Structure 1
Amino acid sequence: MAKPGGWGIGIVAAALVAGAFFYLTAQPQQSEKTTPRTSATKATHLHIQTVALGSYGSAVRRNDQELALEIHPLVELEGPPGESPPSLNGPAEQEVIGNTFLRFPELAALPEDSAAQEQLAKQIGTQLEAQLRARHSPWKLRSLQLRPSLGPIPSGEG
């Protein structure tokens, strides 16, 4: 009977040694998991630039009245420090923004409908992002705000 008890103690001791070995070797893996977090913090060193993209307008009919709807897009770009942001106010961008704006089916709803604003901003943003990719620009579109306004149509006098 002394032999079975001796084996039991040996097995328990071996299990403890194996458990300690696995515990100690698992510790460096946990610290390796934190490594991507440090590289992710480097991404926060990107430069953020806000750029006004002009003004775009259209006449809309609302409550049996013809009104002037304008949007004043404002884009926030994110890119590498020390590199100038790309120009997004050239003729190609103006055409993309203007055409997307004028083809939008819910123009009259833009001033009050945040869902319509988000939808149009997403459509314009997708087009501008495609242009940035085509230029191989390291800059990314972070956000786009339309800032719509609705008012009387300006008179042609002046």
Structure 2
Amino acid sequence: MSENAQAAYDAIHQLIGNDPVAGDWFQVDQDRIQAFADATLDHQFIHLDPERAAQTPFGGTIAHGFLTLSLLVHLSTSIPSDLPPFNGVLMGVNYGMNKVRFVNPVPSGSRVRATAATVDVQLKGNSVDQTRAMTIEIEGVEKPALIAEWIGRTVFG
């Protein structure tokens, strides 16, 4: 175990139990939904055909659930952090997800943002795994779009 990993673990551990912190709003427009459909080859009509989608309970096109999930990377960059810069960081990687749920569809044109709260931290040799409870909110809607536990691993030299 490196001293840098231990220092990061100690700092992150202090965040457990803090209230969730919100990031900036981000618009999910139809062009982004189309680009995601093209990248993933998921061209289901509820994402791309406004006329047919208007006839569904969604009332219009919606973002793919996996698009919403993948936006966590971008949305999390605007979430303020009280953590100091860590020394000796070699890299950060996505380690995994727990309890991912697509709670509410994201209509095309909606604005979303992420909130995060640290719920666990593990020291694993020269790495630190931070688990954060993530929520993606839809502006003006009470029920969130997504909830998940996201595990990020930071590797130290």
TM-score, length-normalised on structure 1?
0.30
Structure ID, larger Rg: 1
Higher helix share: 1
TM-score, length-normalised on structure 2?
0.30
Higher RCO (Cα < 8 Å, 6 or more apart) = 2
Higher strand share: 2
